[in-house]
């Protein structure tokens, strides 16, 4: 693939193929905008279209990322969204995805694979990961209609633990932190689990939990420890008092969350009626009408240490 042919093409996966060798998978977005709740959903649509044209995959070395994005018209990140999961982050990113002025990338696996590359190659340098991360962001943030002015990146929940690295790379970029009562988060994962709520799916060293065997199949107790570590890390980040950090508790409301994000980042809400209409539907499905979750009998989702860490965070951020 030649750099001159990159327009509308984006990298979407990073694969460790052999010692010291990484392969990047590429995809032609065509006219597809990244407006679905998750980046992977857009990828699935585009891959299906691409397979209809050819069964061949478009691959490159990781080193090609930097070459590919040279002179490519692209936006710098306007804001990063950090979250503890099931706390309104998808709703927030969806509220800003419709306007053509906004590029929204929601939980792109490629970014996670770059951040966690040292799990597969421990000797890989932070400088290499930074170069790949910036190149990937530039390629995903390329201007395709030249109306784009804002670029929002929603990270995975465990990227809270990469705060120091990301803040070093992006010292002036707004970081918006979302959190929620732990029993409500755990109740949501009890219905449909994210990978970080299943022991062993994400490195326990990264999540700062006990080893998976410690939980004996009690997924909710495991999720509580994951969340406890998120809240403790958020407390540490809050105490840094960085001028470009903002914290929001989802208990304060969805409309209020959108307004707080807009005020903090300077990214305007173009059509409040459109946003209000989107808030009526489930964050992960624009066709499913949102119905508030029942929080009755949530005692089984209540874990003292986790709840205490949340309350400490809540007090700090008042």
55-95 per-position pLDDT tens digit: 788 999 999 999 999 889 999 999 999 999 999 999 999 99
pLDDT mean over 145-169: 97
The pLDDT value recorded for residue 4 is: 45
b/e 4-16 (16+ beta carbons within 10 angstroms → b)? eebeebbbbebeb
pLDDT mean over 100-110: 96
**Residue 60 half-sphere exposure toward CB, CA atoms < 13 A:** 18
Domain extent listing, the chain: 75-101+149-317
Quick one: pLDDT band at residue 3, thresholds 50, 70, 90? Answer: very low
Superfamily of domain 75-101+149-317: P-loop containing nucleotide triphosphate hydrolases (3.40.50.300)
Segment 168-225, tens digit of pLDDT:
999 999 999 999 999 999 999 999 999 999 999 999 999 999 999 999 999 999 999 9
Quick one: pLDDT band at residue 15, thresholds 50, 70, 90? Answer: very high
Segment 245-266, tens digit of pLDDT:
999 999 999 999 999 999 999 9
Whether residue 288 is predicted with pLDDT greater than 80 in this model: the reply is no
**Residue 151 half-sphere exposure toward CB, CA atoms < 13 A:** 17
DSSP-assigned letters across all residues of 221-274 = HHHHHHHHHHHHHHHHHHHT--TTEEEEEGGG-HHHHHHHHHHHH----S-HHH
Quick one: pLDDT band at residue 295, thresholds 50, 70, 90? Answer: low
Q: Select the more confidently predicted residue: 268 or 50.
A: 268
* DSSP state at residue 18: E
The pLDDT value recorded for residue 154 is: 98
Measured in whole angstroms, how far is the alpha carbon of residue 83 from the centre of its chain?
Answer: 8
Q: Angle 27-28-31 (CA atoms, 0-180°, nearest 5)? A: 140
Task: Give yes or no for a contact between 283 and 168, defined as CB atoms under 8 angstroms apart.
Answer: no
Segment 228-246, tens digit of pLDDT:
999 999 999 999 999 999 9
Task: Give yes or no for a contact between 253 and 183, defined as CB atoms under 8 angstroms apart.
Answer: no
Task: Specify the range with the lowest mean pLDDT, choosing from 6-10, 130-134, 187-191, 229-233.
Answer: 6-10
Global pTM? 0.93
């Amino acid at each position: 693939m030649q750099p001159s042919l990159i327009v509308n093409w984006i990298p979407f996966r990073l694969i460790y193929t052999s010692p010291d060798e990484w392969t990047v998978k590429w995809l032609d977005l065509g006219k597809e905008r990244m407006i679905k709740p998750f980046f992977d959903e857009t990828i699935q649509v585009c891959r299906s279209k691409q397979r209809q044209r050819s069964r061949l995959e478009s691959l490159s070395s990781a080193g090609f990322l930097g070459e590919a994005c040279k002179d490519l018209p692209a936006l710098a990140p306007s804001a990063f969204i950090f979250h503890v999961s099931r706390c309104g982050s998808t709703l927030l990113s969806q509220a800003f995805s419709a306007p053509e002025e906004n590029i929204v990338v929601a939980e792109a696996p490629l970014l996670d694979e770059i951040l966690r590359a040292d799990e597969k190659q421990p000797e890989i340098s932070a400088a290499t990961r930074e170069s790949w991360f910036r190149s990937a962001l530039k390629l995903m943030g390329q201007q395709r209609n030249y109306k784009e002015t804002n670029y929002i990146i929603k990270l995975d929940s465990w990227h809270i633990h990469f705060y120091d690295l990301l803040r070093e790379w992006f010292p002036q970029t707004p970081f918006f932190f979302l959190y929620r009562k732990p029993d409500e988060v755990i109740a949501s994962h009890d219905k449909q689990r994210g990978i970080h709520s299943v022991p062993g799916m994400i490195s326990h060293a990264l999540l700062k939990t006990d080893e998976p065997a410690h939980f004996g199949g009690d997924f909710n107790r495991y999720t509580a420890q994951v969340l406890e570590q998120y809240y403790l890390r958020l407390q540490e980040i809050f105490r840094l008092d960085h001028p470009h950090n903002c914290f929001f508790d989802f208990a304060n409301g969805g409309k209020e969350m959108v307004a707080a994000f807009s005020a903090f980042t300077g990214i305007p809400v173009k059509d409040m009626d459109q946003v209000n209409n989107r808030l009526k539907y489930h964050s992960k499905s624009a066709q499913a009408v949102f119905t508030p979750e029942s929080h009755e009998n949530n005692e089984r989702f209540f874990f003292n240490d986790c709840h205490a860490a949340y309350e400490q965070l809540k007090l700090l951020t008042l």
